[in-house]
Amino acid sequence: MKYSGKKDYQHSSLEKTGLLITNLGTPEAPTAKALRKYLAEFLWDPRVVEIPRPIWWLVLNLIILRIRPRKSAAVYKKIWTEQGSPLMSHTLGQMEGIKQQLQARGLDHIEVECAMRYGQPSIEHALQKLQEKNVTKLCVLPLYPQYSGSTTGSTFDAVSQTLTQLRWVPEFRFIQQYAGHADYIKACADQIHQHWATHPRHEKLVFSFHGVPKRYLMSGDPYHCQCHKTARLIATQLRLSDEQWMTTFQSRFGREEWLQPYTDKTLEKLGQEGVQSIDVFCPGFSSDCVETLEEIDMENRAIFIEAGGKNFSYIPALNSTPSHIHALTNIAMMHMQGWPALDATYDDSQQEVELCKQRALAKGAKQ
């Protein structure tokens, strides 16, 4: 096996710390061709679909990838912007925001990159860029506040697989979750407060999280519990009574049971029971994307209205709001504590570098 490294590496190079933020990913365009490529990578991940590979290969390639790309492309077209994918533009904005916060704190030795678990820019490409910038200490921040094996766990798989191919493996820290971090909870509460400052406050606030199969919970995945923890802490920050808020789960597919209550069924029931107005906020999505902009603000809005509801208000995701950027920066810095800009034992003087080269050349000549 050939391990990758920097050609003609200069040993006098200043070692740096790297912060890699990652998100799920997005197709490159709202077309069937682009969706087929994206879905093939996403749905083949064994962390996402835990079905024996031979069986799943047949289902995926003979059924799903023949039907779903065209339908998904039509959905993505509804939310596509002049800047492209909302998830991509927001993630880039978060990266730039974190860079600015770090520079304002005098932490110029920290290099920041972003990557997508599926699609581009890939995790492998981002890690290569960090390696070229002499990053020897690496912290990875997946933009999933709540841990699940299908999201955060999958990101760890991709990062670690790339690291095993490096000649010089960096010191490595991986942020598993931040479901209850005070700055994240405050950012969510701030976002809701700001929305209520310009929009009517409705009868109920629904916290909608992305769903996963129930069997993941029964197998030890902590996602369900962490979602409820996040919702409870936000509600407490907002000083809501138990009757004023609830937690639901969206985006299920397939026939097996997923985490309940389901968002769409809940909104339908609320409309039928006479609830006239609701607000919906999605704390688990760090950026607005197809699941929030189309599934919640379009599809689920229609479900609630058709069931008898009158007023539906979607509260945007945290995106690149100042509170969110502040939270992400603080979360990253908390996990990077103890990493100095330079090791005290590291001597980068030109004299030491020349001596190192001479020793290497002398040893080679003897051999």
- Sort 54 into a burial class: Cβ within 10 Å, 0-12 / 13-18 / 19+: exposed
Whether residue 157 sits in one domain with residue 134? yes
Whether residue 131 sits in one domain with residue 25? yes
Q: Output the pLDDT for position 193.
A: 98
Structural domain includes residue 222: yes
Structural domain includes residue 63: no
Whether residue 129 sits in one domain with residue 195? no
Whether residue 172 sits in one domain with residue 186? no
What would the pLDDT profile of 175-189 be if each residue is shown by its tens digit? 999 999 999 999 999
pLDDT, mean of residues 349-362 = 58
Cα 306 to Cα 125, 214, 297, 312: the distances in Å are 46, 28, 14, 11
Structural domain includes residue 36: no
In the chain, the percentage of residues whose pLDDT exceeds 90 is: 86
Domain that includes residue 213, residue range: 182-315
**How many Cα atoms occupy the beta-carbon half-sphere of 210 within 13 Å?**
20
Structural domain includes residue 328: yes
Cα 122 to Cα 127, 171, 210, 332: the distances in Å are 9, 20, 23, 20
User: Which CATH number fits the domain that encloses residue 151?
Assistant: 3.40.50.1400
Q: Output the pLDDT for position 108.
A: 87
Whether residue 187 sits in one domain with residue 169? no
Give the residue, 357 or 78, on which the prediction is more confident: 78
Whether residue 346 has pLDDT greater than 60: no
d(CA 259, CA 23): 22
Whether residue 105 sits in one domain with residue 144? yes
d(CA 85, CA 294): 13
* Total number of domains constituting the chain: 2
Whether residue 289 has pLDDT greater than 80: yes
Any idea which of 54-68, 73-87, 324-338, 340-354 has the lowest mean pLDDT? Answer: 340-354
Give the residue, 13 or 348, on which the prediction is more confident: 13
Q: Of 285, 315, 345, which residue constitutes the final position of a domain?
A: 315
Give the residue, 358 or 132, on which the prediction is more confident: 132
What would the pLDDT profile of 304-314 be if each residue is shown by its tens digit? 999 999 999 99
pLDDT, mean of residues 198-205 = 97
- Model confidence, pTM: 0.92
Structural domain includes residue 48: no
Q: Convert the chain into a string of H (helix), E (strand) and C (coil).
A: CCCECCCCCCCCCCCEEEEEEEEEECCCCCCHHHHHHHHHHHHHCCCCCCCCHHHHHHHHHHHHHHHHHHHHHHHHHHHCECCECHHHHHHHHHHHHHHHHHHHCCCCCEEEEEEEEECCCEHHHHHHHHHHCCEEEEEEEECCCCCCHHHHHHHHHHHHHHHCCECCCCEEEECCCCCCCHHHHHHHHHHHHHHHHHCCCCCEEEEEEECCEHHHHHCCCCHHHHHHHHHHHHHHHHCCCHHHEEEEEECCCCCCCECCCEHHHHHHHHHHCCCCEEEEECCCCCCCCHHHHHHHHHHHHHHHHHCCCCEEEEECCCCCCHHHHHHHHHHHHHHCCCCCCCCCCCCCCHHHHHHHHHHHHHHHHHC
pLDDT, mean of residues 303-329 = 98
Q: What is the CA radius of gyration of the chain?
A: 23
Q: Output the pLDDT for position 339.
A: 83
Structural domain includes residue 359: no
d(CA 161, CA 7): 21
Question: Over the chain, what is the mean pLDDT?
Answer: 93
Structural domain includes residue 57: no
Give the residue, 257 or 13, on which the prediction is more confident: 257
In which residue are the tokens 């860029």 written? 129
What would the pLDDT profile of 2-45 be if each residue is shown by its tens digit? 888 777 777 667 889 999 999 999 999 999 999 999 999 999 99
Task: Of 124, 95, 159, 164, give the one whose Cα is nearest residue 332.
Answer: 95
Q: Cis omega before residue 46 (within 30°)?
A: no
